[in-house]
Amino acid sequence: MTVPPIVHPLARAACFAGLGAGEVVHGGRKLVGISQRRTRDGARFQCVAYTATPNTDLLVDVLADVVGDGLATADLAEVLAITTGVIPVESWVLADAVCCAIMEFAPARLTLP
């Protein structure tokens, strides 16, 4: 099911405040965030999934300079607490599953140099 993007004023500072195409959400909380950059030469996709509750105080401290536009860092902490989900597995389990899925897909559909 495709859902429309959710653009929150804080999404430019913290991607987990918004919702874009291909991102995974469960129970209103984002489990997998995707950042992408496309040029005529190719595309780069970067994904984030928390396997433990993030330290929102640390994230807010790091992002405080970026928030700006009159939005308080307290607002950012609240948004992160409400919108961020956790995939309750060891990080290596998640990384292994992603790598296996890529390797299963790649040989059949891609020609690698």
Query: What local confidence, expressed as pLDDT, does residue 112 receive?
Result: 55
Distance, C-alpha 41 to centroid of its chain: 24
CA dihedral sign, ordered 54, 55, 60, 61 = negative
Provide the residue-wise pLDDT of the chain in tens; the chain has 113 residues: 456 677 777 776 677 778 888 888 888 888 888 888 889 998 888 888 889 888 877 777 777 766 655 556 677 778 788 888 899 999 899 889 988 888 887 666 666 55
Distance from C-alpha of 8 to C-alpha of 24, rounded to nearest angstrom: 17
Query: What local confidence, expressed as pLDDT, does residue 93 receive?
Result: 93
Distance from C-alpha of 16 to C-alpha of 96, rounded to nearest angstrom: 23
Q: What is the pTM of this model?
A: 0.68
Among 17, 100, 23, smallest CA distance to 54 is for 17
Among 93, 96, 100, smallest CA distance to 51 is for 93
Give the three-state DSSP class for 44.
strand
